[in-house]
A = this chain, B = another copy of it.
Amino acid sequence: MTTSLSGFPELLPAQRAVELAVLDQLRTTFELHGFASIETRAVEPLDALLRKGEIDKEVYVLRRLQAKDDGADSGLGLHYDLTVPFARYVIENAGHLEFPLRRYQIQKVWRGERPQEGRYREFTQADIDVVARDTLPFHHDVEVARVMAEALASLPFLPAMRLQINNRKLIEGFYRGIGVPDVAAVMRTVDKIDKVPAEAVSRLLVDEAGLSPEQAAKCLQLAQIRSTDTSFVSRVWGLGVVHPLLDEGLEELSAVLEGCAGFSNGRITVQADLSIARGLDYYTGTVFETRMAGFEQLGSICSGGRYDSLASDGKTTYPGVGISLGVTRLLMPLFQRGLLTGSRSVPSVVLVALPTEEARASSDAVAQLLRARGIPTEVAATPQKFGKQIRYAERRGIPFVWFPSADGAHEVKDIRTGEQVPADFAAWMPPAQDLRPRVVVAPTVTATATPGRDEPQ
């Protein structure tokens, strides 16, 4: 991994093999659920990028070096997420798309932020969204949560993950039920709960959001509720607040939690977390965040939620629900700490040895026969002594060296065990787990995990 330009990380080949394995697995999971790949252009008109008015997303503006008029060609910037471009794509292509549309989008995005761990200027996101015309049934909230939980569960080499789910209707219904005057102000204040002590939040709720001490206490009690099953419902009921929107939110959150229950295991925890407030002001129902054990300081590595209006062209509204996984944010810290790497720096499973330069054609022929059976193979670059050719393989992590023989008595050596056996190029296969570079987890991966504020209580 190199960092010659701050915020623009690059991977060495063995690390890139890990990233590819992750992206392949994400794609496999998304496609098994019928999500179609799309890509959007890297640029959007600046006014579209700035419409949301979030100044924390520093946009990179483009200018053609040779443009005669400096300003003529500007008006374009690099996208900072995949949601703004997708919304534009939906509007532009609505006549050619089938709704509900399930799409995944795995692309680079750019933000001119101050680089730090977990924050990059160029990074890869993997987004899934379901978007519909006019109305989008609630069961799609369950679907996207389930698909992303399944995707994360299918990456066993990653640290433990906690999917934290909340629902804006639940929170807003509760606040309205206790007579909160300014729902958004209370959400913003409760969001500070992981930075300042509960008493301070309580004071802010009274002093700034205009709540009574009793109302403030209820809000804090609500924010402390977490459960991995639907027991959160009775705990909310226990607070004695009644509102139809609260009931709707409780029902939705229960459904999402039950839908994901099958993916909870020792490594993946799916929980209702009623303290999740970030995002509640722009999402309209379900809200997701995800923390990685030992890396809580990175913030959420996988977030999303429900928009009642993902896109609109004035006549038609397109509601959507989706989750975005920060692939770079997830992998970089693991690479930086040496916790993950690939088993080799090349795809090759086999190095065909080269006895002499004159024998290149026959070594090439053996290699081509192995490739024809799906075995990534390279031929030694030069006819060095076999010991040197074996070290050539070793340095790249290639597990097998093939020794061709003019009389047909070929042999193959597993250089990890030293075992060398006769082999037939028309029949020999490496073990299935050697066909692709494997993801190697450093044994220290759990030892270095540092408990953060978000550790399960």
Q: Provide the residues of chain B in CB contact with A66, threshold 8 Å.
A: 55, 58-59, 112
Determine the distance from Cα of A103 to Cα of B348 in the docked complex, in whole angstroms: 12
Known: A62-B60, A137-B382. A13 touches B38 (CB 8 A): yes
Asked if B376 contacts A34 (CB within 8 A), the reply is yes
Known: A37-B20, A43-B8, A102-B378. A112 touches B65 (CB 8 A): yes
CB within 8 A of A39: which of B4, B16, B45? B16
Which of A17, A59, A376 is the most central at the interface, judged by chain B CB atoms within 10 Å of its CB?
A: A376
Determine the distance from Cα of A374 to Cα of B45 in the docked complex, in whole angstroms: 40
Known: A32-B371, A65-B112, A98-B395. A10 touches B41 (CB 8 A): yes
Asked if A112 contacts B360 (CB within 8 A), the reply is no
Known: A31-B376, A102-B378, A381-B137. A65 touches B58 (CB 8 A): yes
Known: A381-B137, A396-B98. A63 touches B65 (CB 8 A): no
A64 at the interface (CB under 8 A from B): yes
CB within 8 A of A2: which of B32, B93, B345, B376? B93
The interface bits of chain A over 72-114 (1 if a CB of B lies within 8 angstroms of the residue's CB, else 0) are 0100111000000000010011001110101100001010100
Determine the distance from Cα of A345 to Cα of B93 in the docked complex, in whole angstroms: 13
CB within 8 A of A378: which of B33, B55, B67, B92? B33
A235 at the interface (CB under 8 A from B): no
Q: Provide the residues of chain B in CB contact with A140, threshold 8 Å.
A: 381
A61 at the interface (CB under 8 A from B): yes
Q: Provide the residues of chain B in CB contact with A89, threshold 8 Å.
A: 2, 10
A440 shortest CB reach to chain B, Å: 16
Chain B, Cβ-Cβ closest to A30: B347
Asked if B32 contacts A376 (CB within 8 A), the reply is yes
A400 shortest CB reach to chain B, Å: 12
Q: List 28 A-B contacts (CB under 8 A).
A: A5-B41, A5-B43, A8-B41, A9-B41, A11-B38, A12-B97, A13-B36, A17-B36, A32-B347, A33-B376, A34-B347, A34-B377, A34-B378, A41-B122, A43-B122, A50-B65, A55-B66, A59-B64, A60-B64, A61-B63, A65-B112, A67-B112, A98-B345, A98-B392, A98-B395, A100-B381, A102-B378, A137-B382
